[in-house]
Homo-oligomer: A and B are copies of this chain.
């Protein structure tokens, strides 16, 4: 077989092409161009008439794209070229004036920044939705007890609301991170030219204001090669997915026959035609599995950036697909999780039963003895022996007779039966603890944080 010396033109150009994914930037590209045209006219770099022609042309193009009549040309490789070429078709050579004082290098990153800002905004809203679903579920099941687990072993009873609030707070940190990322995305790169700035008296503040950026970038060489805001979003998303994967794992476990703590809504399970009882938690599994691609996208862009000299290098074109995929994956996952949490049914009986059919009150029994004056270590030893005895007898603590208790310590009295799941939970009455009063306050605080997010 003789090797071809050169690729066919089409396959060569498909290698560099980005139009299949960057077309989603069309609104941003057009908004950027309109602002640029207006600024150029305002600074008398082009005429007011030319600017109006350009703006009119761009708006027509935007309409074509949004209503599906735009004549896409794959051979024009990217969104910028497609719009530019169409503008020439529409308004002739005046289109060329739009490229005064602008380069592809600052144009592409202004588009991506505008998109990223919207994506962050939407992501935060979806995180809030999942928080709200968790909060609603917690509120609706405020008295439900279940075992708290360490090492996948039943450890101490907790309120389900307390358990759910743990996720609320993970997500709250995610939201903070996204919002901080927003501030770094919210910087206008336009005016950086190819790398060194532009030789025209442009007004970058006007551009920033027009496009809704908080400020203009500080250094043109940095601006055209800075993809930090994308890495940062993807890192924030990776951690957020880690949190979501933990919740998803619990939903999968809780849906199993072994746990049977929850029943996911039909729309979030699939079954076999023949085993209606089999309720595969496919959505939760996918949410957990999709963590992989979000981690992978982060690693992908970090790899691209490693060892890249200044300033713009074509490697940077690889920034967008992984970012878009991360945005789509995270947002749809958050939406799915919010709906799944919002529609699932809790099985309080089984949760309580799991707590009762165990020895998770051992610590509380030791505390009982300590309160009666038994030294801490001795109390522990007594309860350890009591646990072994009870297990051997196949009895739970509450099934032991007082006589049996007193075989291990005469400090046990009738009031030992008042050591219950409820008393255990109530005793953890410290800020952040699982006592009902604390959880009540925590719910209110969480509700407040959400309300603030909605208005803020």
Which residues in chain A, 193-222, are within 8 Å of chain B measured between CB atoms?
Answer: 193-202, 204, 216-222
Secondary structure call for the A interface? helix
- Contact B342–A277 (Cβ < 8 Å): no
Which residues in chain A, 307-321, are within 8 Å of chain B measured between CB atoms?
Answer: 307-318, 321
Q: A148-B221, A302-B238 are in contact. Are A383 and B198 (CB under 8 A)?
A: no
- Contact B377–A96 (Cβ < 8 Å): yes
Question: Shortest distance in angstroms between A388's beta carbon and chain B's nearest beta carbon?
Answer: 5
- Contact A310–B428 (Cβ < 8 Å): no
Which residues in chain A, 101-136, are within 8 Å of chain B measured between CB atoms?
Answer: 105, 129, 132-133, 136
Number of chain A residues close to chain B: CB under 8 A: 178
A-B contact pairs, 22 of them (CB 8 A): A6-B265, A7-B267, A9-B267, A151-B313, A152-B256, A153-B279, A154-B257, A158-B196, A165-B222, A169-B222, A173-B228, A196-B428, A218-B445, A232-B239, A235-B235, A245-B306, A246-B305, A246-B310, A274-B380, A277-B359, A291-B306, A292-B306
Asked if A76 is at the interface (CB within 8 A of a chain B CB), the reply is: no
- Total copies of the chain: 4
- Contact B282–A16 (Cβ < 8 Å): yes
Q: A428-B196, A432-B192 are in contact. Are A303 and B305 (CB under 8 A)?
A: no
Contact partners of A314 in chain B: CB under 8 A: 151, 280-282, 285-286, 289
Return the contact of A220 from the options B177, B256, B303, B434 (Cβ within 8 A).
Answer: B434
Q: How far is the CA of A435 from the CA of B199 in the complex (A)?
A: 9
- Contact A312–B151 (Cβ < 8 Å): yes
Q: How far is the CA of A221 from the CA of B434 in the complex (A)?
A: 9
